[in-house]
């Protein structure tokens, strides 16, 4: 299993070169410009400069006063913490075991998720990835993952955006958590339409066999940390989890920057 993960973790030379160039560019910019907060651009004091966040933004993103279901990530009524009592978990099919997010999709977190979809915001995506890794470390202390897998992106979307945000998040989190990142085991088989714009009857058809897993990938007994920037209906995450389990994953935790939920 570990050998398979190591083989899967090897990335093409062109991808490693591109990421190395991006890191050099970021390091050069830091030499020219003084360190600033990744979100609000406020100049950082010496004590803050290691974190990439000013104190106010750090508090906003890392300590949101929200009570979320640990299974599906939805806001819980009346401070319920038992996932078996979560109304959404009882009503909807969720294939993953746990979910870790920084919070619900609103306010500054919503702004950050939208900004992170642009190529010139890689620094923000990296800074958010560090916060999400911290939260995953705290919440998964008894269930440490074996590997990090980003939600795959269609090649055309990747070219149009100039950034693959889930992959940037996954690589950052894997580094922070000291576990392998395996970015190419899930692939997109067809370009899908945005789930939130479709009626419920068409959503399942839209995602039917939309993803595939590399046939030589063996995840037997692995706890996989699946990364996305935002989870909305959860249908894409469910399709990815179906493939990961097909390769043998025994446990899947979804880590997303934000959880957006359609109206109940
Ligand atoms: Zn700030
Ligand atoms: Zn739930």
Given the structure tokens 């619900």, which residue do they identify?
A: 104
Cα(110) to centroid(ligand 1), Å: 15
Residue-number span of the structural domain to which 99 is assigned:
2-11+64-259
Cα(70) to centroid(ligand 2), Å: 7
Check residue 22 and give its pLDDT: 67
Cα(90) to centroid(ligand 2), Å: 7
Given the structure tokens 């395996």, which residue do they identify?
A: 182
pLDDT above 60 (res 2)? no
Residue 98 domain-assigned?
Answer: yes
Count of structural domains, the chain: 1
Residue 36 domain-assigned?
Answer: no
21-52: pLDDT as tens digits: 766 766 666 666 678 899 999 988 766 656 78
Q: Which of 264, 255, 262 is nearest to 103 (CA)?
A: 255
Residue 68 domain-assigned?
Answer: yes
106-156: pLDDT as tens digits: 999 999 999 999 999 999 999 999 999 999 999 999 889 999 999 999 888
> Contact at 8 Å (CB) between 39 and 61?
yes
Q: Which of 256, 252, 214, 225 is nearest to 95 (CA)?
A: 252
C-beta neighbour count of 260 within 10 angstroms: 18
Residue 6 domain-assigned?
Answer: yes
CATH label of the domain that carries residue 70: 3.40.50.2020
């Amino acid at each position: 299993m570990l050998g398979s993960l190591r083989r899967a973790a090897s990335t093409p030379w062109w991808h490693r070169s591109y990421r190395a160039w991006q890191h050099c560019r970021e390091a050069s910019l830091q030499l020219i410009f003084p360190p600033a907060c990744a979100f609000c651009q406020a100049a950082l004091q010496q004590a803050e400069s290691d974190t990439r966040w000013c104190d106010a933004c750090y508090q906003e993103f890392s300590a949101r006063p929200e009570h979320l279901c640990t299974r599906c990530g939805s806001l819980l009524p009346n401070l319920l913490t038992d996932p078996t009592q979560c109304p959404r978990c009882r009503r909807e099919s969720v294939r993953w075991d746990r979910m870790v997010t920084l919070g619900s999709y609103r306010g500054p977190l919503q702004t950050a998720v939208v900004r992170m979809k642009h190529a010139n915001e890689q620094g923000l995506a990296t800074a958010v990835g560090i916060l999400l890794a911290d939260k995953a470390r705290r919440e998964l202390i008894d269930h440490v993952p074996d590997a990090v897998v980003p939600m795959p992106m269609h090649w055309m979307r990747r070219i149009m955006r100039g950034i693959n945000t889930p992959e940037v998040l996954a690589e950052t989190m894997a580094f922070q958590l000291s576990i392998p990142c395996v970015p190419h085991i899930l692939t997109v088989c067809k370009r899908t339409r945005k789930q939130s714009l479709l009626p419920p009857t068409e959503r399942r058809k839209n995602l039917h066999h939309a993803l595939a897993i590399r046939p030589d990938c063996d995840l037997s007994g692995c706890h996989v940390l699946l990364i996305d920037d935002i989870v909305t209906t959860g249908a894409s995450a469910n399709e990815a989890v179906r493939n990961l389990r097909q390769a043998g994953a025994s446990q899947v935790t979804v880590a997303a920057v934000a959880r957006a939920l359609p109206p109940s």
